[in-house]
Amino acid sequence: MGHCNQEVIDLLTEAYCLEIETVTNFIANSINLDGIRAEEIKKALSADVAEELLHAQQLAMRIKQVGGLVPGSSSLTLGTQIQPPEDTCDVIGVIKGVIDTEQRACAMYNAIISATDGKDYVTQDLCIRLLADEEEHLVLFKGYLKEYERD
């Protein structure tokens, strides 16, 4: 597959960083939030952690398969996502942060799907499946936001 694959490796690595960062922020939000109304959101985020971690592992495997190396912690690009709020009762802030994160993930996977079109069907297929997961989360959290903004 040679070095012409560098673009795909870079894109997959970017997606990997995004998923790892999502895992850390979702863990924080699923534990930091306080209050009765936060329970459902905390449960959803807690469940999402396992899924986002699986995404990271699948991306990592693909990076290796296309001739790249999975980065260690010092090579990760983190800190671009909306951070867990200081106010532990800011459920809406958390929901909006999740929506932003999922939208970024969707954009990322769409970019990889386009970049690999006609060239790398396995990477494209993986990213289509990951995109479907992220879109599902996005719809769920947009629904939560609707409910919270009504009150």
pLDDT value of position 37 = 86
pLDDT value of position 149 = 85
Polymer length of the chain? 151
Cβ atoms of residues 97 and 3 within 8 Å? no
DSSP assignments along 59-102, one per residue = HHHHHHHTT-----GGG-----SPPPPSSTT-HHHHHHHHHHHH
**Pair of tokens at residue 10:** 């870079």
pLDDT value of position 117 = 96
For each of the domains in the chain, give its residue range(s) and CATH number, in order of start: 3-69+83-150 (1.20.1260.10)
pLDDT value of position 130 = 98
pLDDT value of position 2 = 46
**Pair of tokens at residue 38:** 């936060």
What 3 state SS string does 3-21 have? Answer: HHHHHHHHHHHHHHHHHHH
In order along the chain (151 residues), what is the average pLDDT of each group of 10 residues? 76 97 97 93 95 97 97 92 94 96 97 96 98 96 92 71
pLDDT value of position 66 = 96
Q: How far apart are CA 56 and CA 20, in angstroms?
A: 6
| Cα–Cα distances in angstroms (integers) from residue 93 to residues 38, 66, 89, 96, 108, in the given order | 11, 38, 9, 5, 23
